[in-house]
Amino acid sequence: MAVIGTFAPGKAGGWVGTIRTLTINAKVRLVPNDDRTNKKAPAFRVFVGTSRIGEAWEAKTGGGSPKDYLRVKLDDPVLPQPMNVALFVSENGDAAQMLWSRVRTS
């Protein structure tokens, strides 16, 4: 897994930070979704400026000691396909890292 972003808590809830890869360098906001009318609705909307580029859902890791994280789907016309990443919050909640891992096909 590679760290592609670092985030801090936003003033109005959510998260603000930067995603950096070889081709992406963008300031990003995860804004709480105030329209969660069903259980499958995303917890956050993801924005670059005023453009919505994705959504994030609450999730838990598997294994012996599950950990909460956000499962994030990012999409943009320059991407060949949507990017699935994870946002993990630090123990004290004052920072978060966005992690990406290439899906391996056999």
Per-residue pLDDT of the chain (106 residues; tens, 9 = 90+): 899 999 999 988 999 999 999 989 999 999 999 988 888 999 999 999 999 999 999 999 988 778 899 999 999 998 889 999 999 999 999 999 999 988 777 6
Q: Quick check: is 9 in a domain?
A: yes
Q: Quick check: is 85 in a domain?
A: yes
**In the prediction, which pLDDT does 36 show?**
86
Give this prediction's pTM. Answer: 0.91
**In the prediction, which pLDDT does 35 show?**
87
Q: Quick check: is 82 in a domain?
A: yes
Q: Quick check: is 70 in a domain?
A: yes
Q: Quick check: is 72 in a domain?
A: yes
Q: Quick check: is 7 in a domain?
A: yes
CA angle centred on 72, ends 69 and 73, rounded to 5° = 160
Q: 62: domain range?
A: 2-100
Q: Quick check: is 105 in a domain?
A: no
Q: Domains in the chain: how many in total?
A: 1
Contacts of residue 106, Cβ cutoff 8 Å, sequence gap at least 6: none
**In the prediction, which pLDDT does 106 show?**
65
Tokens representing 86 are: 């994870």
Q: Quick check: is 106 in a domain?
A: no
CA–CA distance, 76 with 90 (Å, rounded to integer): 28
